[in-house]
Amino acid sequence: MLEVSGATKSFGGFVAVSNVNLSVAEGETHAVIGPNGAGKTTLFNLVSGLLTPDSGSVVFRGKPLKKMQPHEIVKIGMARSFQRVNIFPRKSVFDNVQVALIASRGLNFNPFRQASGLFRDETIALLDLVEMADDADRRAGELAHGRQKQLELAVALAADPKLLLLDEPTAGMSLGETRAAIKLINDIVSKRGLTLLFTEHDMNVVFEIASRISVLHHGEIIASGEPQAVRDNDEVKRIYLGKE
Amino acid sequence: MATRGQTIFLILLFVALALVPLAGERYPLELAVQLMIFGLFAMSLNVLIGHVGSISFGHAAFFAIGGYACAYFQTRLGWPIFVSMPAAIGLTAVCALIIGYFCVRLTELYFAILTLAFSMLVWAVAFKWTEVTGGGDGFVGITAPDFMSNPVLFFWFTFAIVAVSVGLLWLLSNSTMGKTFIAIRENPTRADFLGVNVRRMRLIAFVIAGAFAGIAGALLSFYVRGMFPESAFWTQSGQVMIMVLLGGMHSFVGPILGAVVIYVLETFISQYTQYWPIVLGTILLLIVMFAPDGLIGMFRSIGRRMSMRGRRNA
């Protein structure tokens, strides 16, 4: 479904992602792990079209993404969340999801279709999915950080993606919140038959839900495979898991 | 954006306007016509500032293009009004499409500066292209339909066009397109990742804003029986922006309110002193420092404070 080949991206003299090959098959729950600064977010930005690789290519569902803008990539079935929550903080929880549905149905070009009450059922259903229907009328920016992350998940799901990219979906959450959020994500992914590519720093979580793991270190993939194989990889043990 | 309270305010405003002819005097009619024209002009700019969040500093360009085009079509080509006015609006929209195509490639300050540059270009053309625009003396003596010499009929003509325009803008503001515009204003990156072509949406907003400014300009050309290069000058763009800021850019009716206050103040203060720009500057200073959400924002916070006090006393 997603094929990253030889992707390299540098900022000034700093090589953030170097010759990365990554392949995500349909139905996979694929984790990218690595220490802070390993290049995980840069890799996600390359895949989702926020950045263009200096060399190498990204192919999604058979289409090379080289010249595509993020909004075009969303339209062919990829949605993402950000490490730092990226929602509409001054709008209500309901409006956040509703406008995402408006965009996904292409109604953003319609100046006459009145938005009031539009997609109410679908919006509430999506909020239900992330257990937030009770917060529908609250301002998104007032919510606790963990709830905002959950809202961003609902916003991403509104685009009806085939591939979901979650950049540190549990960043800044307590241990309990992390457990709950991961369970929720896992449920949604299996219920909707999504392919998931995510980054995560909590190793227990990663090994619990990932069907494949790629380890990024100094911008390079040093191991990629089944969780057990990655866990047993000597290089991974030495530079990453050894710290735990 | 247009809350129920604001919609009611709008309806009351138009009802009040409809009563103006009953006064039977010329001055209130003329003032009302001017207020409607500048209110529409300010509302058109708010499609950019308040909805997609693009601060244009050259909006007067489209006001002027609409006015000059209408004057030219009426007078030099002798077209009837039901042809000349739509044609003028269409031409303004096309100009907005061309200018906007370049402007929406930039954002924030760079966008503002480029819109300013284009508007000064339009001003220079209006100033120099004497055969078409009348140059520095302006386009004087427009051929207007006979009914316009009757102030009451001209009032109703303006009223009808402004009411329909405001109605269309209201529909836009509450539409799925309007909601998408606001999403772009609030967070363009997120909007992009919802699958929205942000640049194209900004261009659409630019064209809509330009077209409605063109309508206001065409009405002005009939009202003053001509068009003058000052209407494209940057001070005109600045004034309409101050109207939007004063009224409140994140509300639907704010710009009308701002236009009314600025216009009435200008009219009255200019009778006593030539230092109106000092007053205008002071107003701008006060808004920026104390009322960033404009008059509407001020009313809202006063309303909130009063309801809180009411609850405490109860």
What angle, rounded to 10 degrees, do the helices at B108-128 and B81-103 form?
140
Cβ neighbors of B131 (< 8 A, separation 6 or more) are none
**Model confidence pLDDT, tens digit, residues A147-199:** 999 999 999 999 999 999 999 998 888 888 888 898 999 999 999 999 999 99
Among A69-73, A77-81, B202-206, B267-271, which is the least confidently predicted range?
A: B267-271
* pLDDT exceeds cutoff 50 at A244: no
The phi, psi pair for B36, rounded to 5°, reads -65, -45
Distance between CA atoms of A230 and A241, rounded to whole angstroms? 10
Helix, strand, or coil here: A15? Answer: strand
One-letter amino acid identity for B305?
A: R
The shortest CB-CB distance from B174 to any of A72, A74, A115 is to A115
* Chain A residue set in contact with B, beta carbons under 8 Å: 48, 50, 69-72, 74-75, 79-80, 86-91, 95, 98-100, 102-104, 107-116, 118, 155-156, 158-159
Q: Do B208 and A111 touch (CB under 8 A)?
A: yes
pLDDT in tens, chain B (314 residues): 767 888 999 999 999 999 999 988 889 999 999 999 999 999 999 999 999 999 999 999 999 999 999 999 999 999 999 999 999 999 999 999 999 999 999 998 999 999 999 999 999 999 999 999 989 899 998 999 999 999 999 999 999 999 999 999 999 999 999 999 999 999 999 999 999 999 999 999 999 999 999 999 999 999 999 999 999 999 999 999 999 999 998 899 999 999 999 999 988 898 898 888 898 889 889 888 888 888 888 888 888 888 877 776 65
In terms of CA atoms, which chain B residue is nearest residue A45? B193
What is the Cα–Cα distance from A48 to A70, expressed in whole angstroms? 6
Q: Using the beta-carbon criterion (under 8 Å), do B193 and A102 form an inter-chain contact?
A: no
**A230 CA: distance to closest CA in chain B (Å):** 32
**Do residues B78 and B280 make contact, with C-beta atoms less than 8 angstroms apart?**
no
Question: Which residues in chain A are closer than 8 Å to B171, comparing Cβ atoms?
Answer: 111-112, 114
DSSP string for residues in B164-219: HHHHHHHHHHTBHHHHHHHHHHH-HHHHHTTT--HHHHHHHHHHHHHHHHHHHHHH
Asked if B194 reaches chain A (Cβ–Cβ under 8 Å), the answer is yes
Find the residue in A nearest to B189 (Cα). A86
Q: Which amino acid is at B184?
A: I
Q: Which CATH superfamily is domain A1-77+161-244 in?
A: P-loop containing nucleotide triphosphate hydrolases (3.40.50.300)
Tokens of A72: 């075009």
Q: pLDDT at position B314, please?
A: 56
pLDDT level of residue A207 (50, 70, 90 thresholds): confident
| CB atoms B194 and A158 under 8 Å | yes
CB-count burial class (<10 Å; 0-12, 13-18, 19+) for B298: middle
B155 touches B33 (CB < 8 A): yes
3 state SS of A149: helix
Indicate yes or no: CB of A107 within 8 angstroms of CB of B176: yes
A1 to chain B nearest CA, in Å?
A: 19
Domain limits of chain A? 1-77+161-244, 87-160
Say yes or no for a CB contact (<8 Å) between B179 and A155. Answer: no
User: Which stretch of A77-81, A83-87, A204-208, B84-88 has the lowest confidence by average pLDDT?
Assistant: A204-208
**Which of B175, B180, B182 comes nearest A103 by C-beta?**
B180
Among A71, A75, A115, beta carbon nearest to B179: A115
Write out the DSSP string of A74-137. HHTTEEEE-SS--S-TTSBHHHHHHHHHHHHTTGGG-SSSB-TTTTHHHHHHHHHHTT-GGGTT
Instruction: Provide φ and ψ at A235, rounded to 5°.
Output: -65, -40
Indicate the range of A58-72, A227-241, B243-257 predicted with least confidence. A227-241
User: What is the pTM for the complete model shown?
Assistant: 0.93
**Inter-chain CB proximity B187 and A86 less than 8 Å:** yes
Q: Do B176 and A95 touch (CB under 8 A)?
A: no
Q: Do A103 and B194 touch (CB under 8 A)?
A: yes
**Chain B closest-CA separation from residue A237 CA (Å):** 36
The whole-angstrom distance between B204's CA and the closest CA on chain A is 9
Residue B297: predicted pLDDT: 87
Residue contacts between A and B (CB atoms, under 8 Å): 97
> Which of B173, B179, B207 to mutate against chain A (most A CBs within 10 Å)?
B179
* B14 residue type, one letter: F
Q: Which of B171, B172, B196 has the CB atom closest to A71's CB atom?
A: B196
pLDDT of residue B303: 84
Count other C-beta atoms under 10 Å from residue A114's C-beta.
13
